[in-house]
Structure 1
Amino acid sequence: MKASIGWITGAAAAALVAAGAITYAVAEDGGGSAPGTPAAGSADAGFARDMAVHHQQAVEMSYIVRDRTKDPEVRRLAYDIAQTQANQRGMLLGWLDLWGLPKVSAGPPMSWMGMGGMPERGDGSLMPGMATDTEMRKLGTLDGRQAEIFYLQLMTDHHKGGIHMAEGCVAKCAVGTEKRLARGMVNAQQSEIALMADLLKERGAQARS
């Protein structure tokens, strides 16, 4: 059964409404100057830093495709992803502020997951699922159905990488509020992957992996 864009939109709106409460709740759940404040090298801090970078690319990718297609379904999905991930990115960076921690890691991405030794993809792709600079430029040159298909393929890969990272936080993070946000990311992005598979099928295409 095809996933509902309307349902996705409603979920995104609910996430935005809850954002303020979640941001401030984390201050009572290991944030601020309390003894439970995460360390700079903790999974909590690492996830916040890395997912903020990961989300930023998803926002950029989504706004690119909104300018390259007139298809209402893809435009609505892209808008929902951009708004939700921009909001979550703000929360993650806000938590780092509350914890008094740097927003840029001194070590390699995803080292908090035990993946610091993973091979470099290069070309702007810092973490699994992220598009390369070349792929981002290509997206900006496509129009219509070609842009839709390439965006859906890139975003499917992006979500798979994001889910892997969020699952890492669910397993390793200590701050309950952050773990709950990560669990919500997993559920929402799995639903969006299913929706994108349907949209790709309608266009005679499929995910790249």
Structure 2
Amino acid sequence: MTADEGLTEDARPPAGGRRVLVFVVATVVVLFMGAAIGMLIGVAREDAPTIPGADSVDVGFAQDMRVHHFQAITMAGIERDRTTDPALHSLAFDIESTQLSQAGEMDGWLTVWEQPELPDIGRAPMSWMGGAGHAHGTTTVGANVTTMPGMATTEELNKLRGMAPGAEADIYFLQLMLRHHEGAVPMAQYAAEHASMGYVRDLAGKMISGQTAEVNLMTQMLAERGARPLPVN
């Protein structure tokens, strides 16, 4: 007899609730594992000549890409919970799990480097790219406020959350995530070329490979559904 079989019908947790609980636990485990990996890598290299400083490419990349990743995780989670299309469900799950692990790894680095997880409020996003970020589409939003390329607005996220399951919602997810990946790749490329730590360059390279493949897949998925990508922001 299973644990659930020993409960009355009223006492059993709903199936949806069990799925949510299982995913929350899995999310915590993935983040913890990623952070542990990042910390182990950092500790193993703590005898390096220098540890990245607050104004380094390494720290700026970890802080900004972590923020970028968490928005992708949010959008992928919405799609994973809602879509009835197996291909979209698989894509959303892969994006969510991969970026959770990578965000955890970057958390680990920042802990070892004794740097905050979030950038200083006075630092402009992507300033660690030495001005290259503006060439790749950094968008000005209001006076002296910038956002990283590819990031969805609050209105776009609310629209995604509020859409009924179906083809239209799947297409909108693909459009937002495709643009999001296209904004992230130049950031990873810069870090892969300019970060001082080899393990930072290695992860940035993995991001380039993985997200470029997903960009190609999402472009194909949109074409198959008769839809076009959103303009780069």
Structure-1-length-normalised TM-score = 0.83
Alignment equivalent of 1:141, drawn from 130, 145, 162: 162
Distance 1:200 1:119, change over 3 A: closer
Aligned-residue offset at 1:168: 1.1
Indicate if the aligned counterparts of 1:125 and 1:132 stay in contact, CA closer than 8 A.
no
Of the two, which has the highest radius of gyration? Answer: 2
Is the 8 Å Cα contact of residues 197 and 207 (structure 1) preserved in structure 2? yes
Identity of aligned residues (%): 42
* Pair 76,23 (structure 1): closer, same or farther in 2 beyond 3 Å: farther
Q: Using structure 2 for the length normalisation, give the TM-score.
A: 0.75
Q: Secondary structure at the match of 1:41?
A: coil
**Paired residue for 1:112?**
128
Verify: 1:131 aligned to 2:152, yes or no: yes
Q: For residues 25 and 69 of structure 1, what CA distance do their matches in structure 2 show?
A: 37
Decide whether the 8 Å contact of 2:38 with 2:107 is kept in 1: no
Q: CA deviation at 1:101?
A: 1.1
CA distance in structure 2 between the partners assigned to 1:167 and 1:110 by the alignment:
13
User: Residue 119 of structure 2 aligns to a residue in which SS?
Assistant: coil
Code of the aligned partner of 1:173: A
CA shift for structure 1 position 38: 0.4
Q: Is 1:206 aligned to 2:206, yes or no? A: no
C-alpha deviation, 1:120, in angstroms: 2.3
Alpha-carbon spacing, 1:126–1:109, altered in 2? closer, same or farther (3 Å): same
Following the alignment from structure 1 to structure 2, what is the Cα–Cα distance between the partners of residues 104 and 208? 28
**1:155 paired to 2:169:** no
Distance across 2 between alignment mates of 1:119 and 1:77: 27
Q: Per-residue deviation at 1:75?
A: 0.7
CA shift digits 1:101-160 (9 cap, x unpaired): 1222221111100248755236x9821001010100111122211111011111111001
The answer to whether the 8 A contact 1:22-1:177 is kept is no
Query: Aligned runs of 1:1-209 on 2, under 5 Å?
Result: 21=37, 23-29=39-45, 32=46, 35-106=49-120, 107-115=123-131, 119-121=139-141, 126-142=147-163, 143-209=165-231
Give the distance between the partners of 1:21 and 1:53, measured in 2 at CA. 19
Shift of 1:93: 1.1
Q: Deviations over 1:5-39 (max 9, x none)?
A: xxxxxxxxxxx8x956565223333xx47541100
Q: Which moved more, 1:193-202 or 1:40-49?
A: 193-202
Tell me how many residue pairs correspond in the alignment: 190
Question: SS at 1:67's partner residue?
Answer: helix
Q: Is the contact between residue 125 and residue 133 of structure 1 (CA under 8 Å) also seen in structure 2?
A: no
The alpha-carbon deviation at position 198 of structure 1 amounts to 1.5
After the TM superposition, which of the residue ranges 85-94 and 108-117 deviates more from structure 2? 108-117
Taking CA–CA contacts closer than 8 Å with sequence separation of 6 or more, which of the two structures ends up with the larger relative contact order?
A: 1
